[in-house]
């Protein structure tokens, strides 16, 4: 910062009262609603449920992440599962061809997490059933 002189670095909205008020209100909500603590607690619940799916279905390789930012590595391309989940009102991202990525908002609640897990359970069951009934393919493993 010592390399800049006064007035050499500025922006139209830097430090405006409105931006500062919005930032302070955001911090107040994060602190008063204990959102980081909620993320840790709900993340543990979510991770436990995803680990249960991993134990139940061979198509899930690994569950990883921290807090509510979680991922499930699959043994197959997850594109079809993402589209099917979207049809059921669950938005899941990918992180490459075979990883389901979960980045829910800090205000998510446990019933919403359980809905995500229920939808995943349904589609993992379908996917595993399809794969067991069709001839083996090396392309997805």
pLDDT in tens, 105-138: 988 999 999 999 999 999 999 888 887 787 665 5
95 contacts: CB under 8 Å, gap ≥ 6: 71, 101
- The reply to whether 14 falls in a domain is no
Query: Residue 141 above 60 pLDDT?
Result: no
Mean pLDDT, residues 81-97: 93
Contact present, 92 and 113 (Cβ < 8 Å): no
Rounded Cα distance between 16 and 11, Å, is 10
Structural domain harbouring 95:
40-133
Domain count of the chain? 1
The CATH number covering residue 57 comes to 3.90.1150.10
What global pTM score does this model have?
A: 0.77
Supply the pLDDT for residue 140.
Answer: 52
Q: Return d(Cα 59, Cα 128) in angstroms, integer.
A: 6
With vertex at residue 116, the alpha carbon angle to CA 62 and CA 121, rounded to the nearest 5 degrees, is 60
Is residue 98, in this structure, part of any structural domain at all?
Answer: yes
């Amino acid at each position: 910062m010592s390399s800049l002189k006064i007035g050499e670095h500025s922006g139209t909205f830097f430090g405006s009262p409105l931006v500062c008020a919005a930032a302070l209100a955001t911090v107040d909500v994060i602190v008063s609603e204990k959102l980081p603590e909620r993320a840790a607690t709900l993340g543990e619940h979510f991770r436990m449920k995803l680990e249960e799916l991993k134990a139940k279905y061979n198509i899930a390789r690994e569950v990883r992440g921290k807090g509510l930012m979680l991922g499930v590595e699959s043994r197959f391309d997850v594109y079809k599962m993402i589209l099917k989940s979207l049809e059921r009102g669950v938005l899941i991202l990918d992180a490459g061809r075979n990883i389901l990525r979960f980045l829910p908002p800090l205000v998510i609640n446990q019933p919403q997490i359980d809905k995500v897990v229920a939808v995943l359970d349904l589609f993992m069951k379908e996917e595993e059933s399809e794969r067991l009934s069709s001839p083996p393919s090396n392309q997805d493993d």
